[in-house]
Structure 1
Amino acid sequence: MEARLVERARIVLGCLEGQPVSAVAEGLKVRANTVIDWRRRFEREGVAGLRDRPRPGKPPRYTEEFRKQVLSALEQPPPRGQAVWDGPALAKYLKTSVHAVWRVLRKEGICLARQRSWCVSTDPEFAAKAADVVGLYLNPPQNALVLSVDEKPSIQALERKTGFVETDSGKIVRGFKSTYKRHGTLNLFAALEVATGAVHTQTTGRKRRIEFLEFMDRVVADLPAGKEIHVILDNYCIHKKNDTWLAAHPHVFFHFTPTSASWLNQVEIWFGILSRKALRGASFHDTEQLRRAIEDFVAAYGP
């Protein structure tokens, strides 16, 4: 809501509470005449009277027809040599000024340079699979543990100079050199206990089915015996076709997110926090230093 409408509403509320005009004016840092004017407007017209009245003003230079021309142009293919429309291209196409185009775009809330991506699941069983996963989060089975499991592959051990630098504007920011040395990669398996937030992790040099099942063996061995374990996974190939392993662990049940919907897996949130706090902008001399950084984060972040 506009600040001026909020101020007028507070004036009216103060008057309705029986406060003197001087007290309302002093509290809102306005003139006493302002309080009186808006009180009278409210008495005559009610809430509608708190809004600005129509003003004649200068007639708009850009008509509704021009607005339609701009929006219609955006639905046409961009000019040859461009992948997308921009302000100057629209202005040239419509034979008008770029400022006129920007005014319309700003008013419509259209940002030509800003981009967003999206991913839509085409899984025909999306509703059933999503309900299964969300049900485990909200209402897990009795005497059971729910794990959110996934892997973060190919984490690079990059070595580069980092530090604080002063920009041309005088601000101090975290900077790092654009060139770097590569010292290999690690894969990280993680299992998030949904109920407690505890995270079980294991770093490996490769990311195959054998490493995944070895990680699951370790996680299952660390958990309390006598409980069902429900594991939420995405549809990556190493998570599928593990019937032999599941037969050997009858108390473990795999639940798969819909295709193209790995965002339903809560461990992805933890991976994002790990990247921001321990990996982004860091420098590692080798994969062992990278491994220690991950382990330190796990120890510090755990419940």
Structure 2
Amino acid sequence: MDEMTGIQALERQAPDKPMRPGKRERREFEYIRHGTQTLIASFDVAQGRVVEATVGARRTEVDYLNHVQQLLATDPKAIKWHLVMDCLNTHQSASLVRLVAQTEGLDVDLGLKGQSGILQSQQTRSDFLRDPSHKIVFHFTPKHCSWLNQIELWFGILVRKLLRRGNFVSQAQLKTRILEFVAYFNRTMAKPFRWTYEGKALKQ
């Protein structure tokens, strides 16, 4: 799981000039900027497909919580969830702690954010969310190691296949095209990524 922020809805001021013998396709460099959108996406490593994608204007704690709730709703009968993400503060929020506690049926005092208990600090919340005994287990990648999260590979595909050469006349069109691409990818291209790194220690 991760967010892709600041996706620009750029409309080219002039149409592209198509390829012809001896000439490459040429694109207008001037554009009209229609604002940005944020994509929050969850990637199923085993199947190689995007399970849930949310496109909106922001990536607040509430937005991320809503995305996690929508993800969990895709398979209500799942016995266990392992969610991999980076260490962003919204990924270790009080609202996620409350969600996990509610899912686990825990009748405990979570404390007060910034003052006491599980909610006291980002570290105490992170420790709670990582608990392997829970049905929903969070795994946080180390700092500067977001490449360990396979959603980053999929974001690269999105950029190359859609965003880099896209022409979007509005934020609404950008949102629609992203969600259409997710559906197209899942239907035609989805397959597990094959890691080539074998985990060997680096030689000194």
What TM-score does the superposition give when structure 1 sets the normalisation length?
0.48
Find 1:194's aligned residue among 45, 66, 71: 45
What SS does structure 1 have at the residue aligned with 2:67? helix
Matched, 1:182 2:66: no
Residue 244 in structure 1 maps to residue 128 in structure 2: no
Amino acid corresponding to residue 204 of structure 1 in structure 2: G
CA contact (8 A) 1:162 1:283 kept: no
| 2:75 alignment partner, one of 219, 223, 232 | 223
CA positional deviation for 1:296: 1.5
**Higher Cα radius of gyration:** 1
> Alpha-carbon deviation of 1:166?
5.9
Query: Which residue is equivalent to 2:16?
Result: 163
Per-residue CA deviation, residues 189-244 of structure 1 (Å, 9 max, x unaligned), is: 10001111221101011110100000100010112414100000001111013322
Question: What is the match of residue 262 of structure 1?
Answer: 146
DSSP-derived class of the 2:37 partner: strand
Partners of 2:19 and 2:42 in 1: how far apart?
41
Aligned counterparts, 1:22-33, within 5 A: none
Distance in 2 (alpha carbons) for counterparts of 1:171 and 1:287:
36
1:176 Cα deviation (Å)?
A: 1.6
Q: Which has the higher contact order (CA 8 A, sep 6+)?
A: 2
Which residue matches 1:274?
158
Identity %: 35
Give the gaps of 5 or more residues in structure 1: 1-148
Q: Is 1:300 matched up with 2:152?
A: no
Summarize deviations over 1:48-78 as a string: whole Å, max 9, x none: xxxxxxxxxxxxxxxxxxxxxxxxxxxxxxx
Q: How many residues are paired up? A: 153
Q: Cα RMSD (Å) of the superposition? A: 1.7
Q: Compute the TM-score of the two structures, normalised by the length of structure 2.
A: 0.70
Q: Which is richer in helix?
A: 1
Change (3 A) 1:159 1:226: closer
- Structure 1 stretches of 4+ with a deviation exceeding 6 A read none
